[in-house]
A = this chain, B = another copy of it.
Amino acid sequence: MARYDFASDNTAPATPEALQALISANEGFASGYGTDHVSRQAADLVRATLDADAEVRFVASGTAANAVSLAALCRPFEAVLAHEHAHICTDETGAPGFFGHGLGLIGLAGASGRIDGPALAAALDQPDMSYRQSPAALSLTNSTEYGTLYAPEALGDLIQPVKAKGYGVHLDGARLANAAAAGFDLKRIKDLGVDILVFGGTKAGMPPTEAVVIFERALARRFDARLKQAGQLPSKGRYYAAPFIGMLQDGAIFRHAAHANAMAKRLAGLMPFKVRHPVDANGVFVEMDDATLKRLHKSGWFAYRFLDGSVRFMCSWATTAETVDALGEALKSLA
């Protein structure tokens, strides 16, 4: 049987803290559609974590959370600027175009998943033409698809010219916990010009849940109707909110993310193949030919070939040092 330990960070179970909070929330009757006390408490914790007076909603799907956010920032005849390998560009089956009614995506180059500043500047310099979709928002991802980190300053440098144009900014934080554990100060997001953040719960070790954090209050108007129409306003909101309580109230989310990051570093240290990208967070990307990958799969370890041709190994809160070492041994025997 294949082992999915390193296939993704969504193959792990939920953390004890997240699950326990969900169990604790399963008590008594509660009002619906996110108006319950659990959702309120979780939203307060998210705000405290970000040190920000923002609107917070808890939804089921990261794909939908991203797509709904982008639809809130752009009109159908406009486009989102994003790294060409961003999740929204390559892994969401065109969800931004579906939720955004034909919304375009403009893929930008950049090493190791970080958008190249000049590439962004060039895209912003393009004149508006009626025959193409001009940008109206920038989407950033931290930590990135290639397991690298943006420092707040680096994000600020990308965001500044975008805001100068009057465009919106979305931050895909599916792995924001890993970024935080790697040193990214979450309390600085509020001052960077981010309009909407998707603060990921799922990949951080929760049952499926994501927090949509709306910094730009004007966007919050009728947001519940927007979510409801999009199938993302849960009637039983407490089940999406509770895991955030369990994970945020004493910082478990960051301890778990730090562990995942450390496991990635450990794996990188054992790796007999060339590591292609800096290992800032919880992913290790290596150069491996097809024959070797096939043998790896045969030996029972599952890993994906990624968009840049490297093979990706993801660590999670549940990855153990023993498993990392076992994988290291297996890889050594293939190299």
Binding site for B on A (CB under 8 A): 2-5, 7-8, 10-14, 19, 22-23, 26-33, 60-65, 67-68, 75-79, 90-104, 128-134, 202, 207-208, 222, 224-236, 239-240, 302, 318
Q: Is the CB of B61 within 8 A of A234?
A: yes
Stoichiometry, as copies per complex, reads 4
Contact A128/B76 with A23-B23, A231-B95 known, Cβ cut-off 8 Å? no
Mostly, the A contact residues are loop
Closest CB-CB distance, A215 to chain B, in whole Å? Answer: 19
CB < 8 Å neighbour of A229 from B27, B77, B225, B234? B77
Q: Is the CB of B27 within 8 A of A7?
A: no
Is the beta-carbon distance between A98 and B90 smaller than 8 angstroms? no
Contacting residues, chain B, for A32 (C-beta < 8 A): 4, 7-8, 10-11
- Closest residue of B by beta carbon distance from A95: B229
Q: Which residue of B lies closest to A91 (CB)?
A: B131
Q: How far is the CA of A282 from the CA of B317 in the complex (A)?
A: 43
Q: Which residues of B contact A134 (CB under 8 A)?
A: 222, 225
Chain B residues with Cβ below 8 Å from A234 are 60-61, 208
7 further A-B contacts with Cβ under 8 Å, apart from A60-B234, A77-B230, A101-B102, are: A4-B30, A75-B222, A91-B132, A95-B228, A100-B102, A102-B229, A134-B225
Q: Assess whether B97 is in contact with A97, with CB atoms less than 8 Å apart.
A: yes
Contact (Cβ within 8 A) A228 B29: no
Residues of chain B within 8 A (CB-CB) of A90 are: 131-132
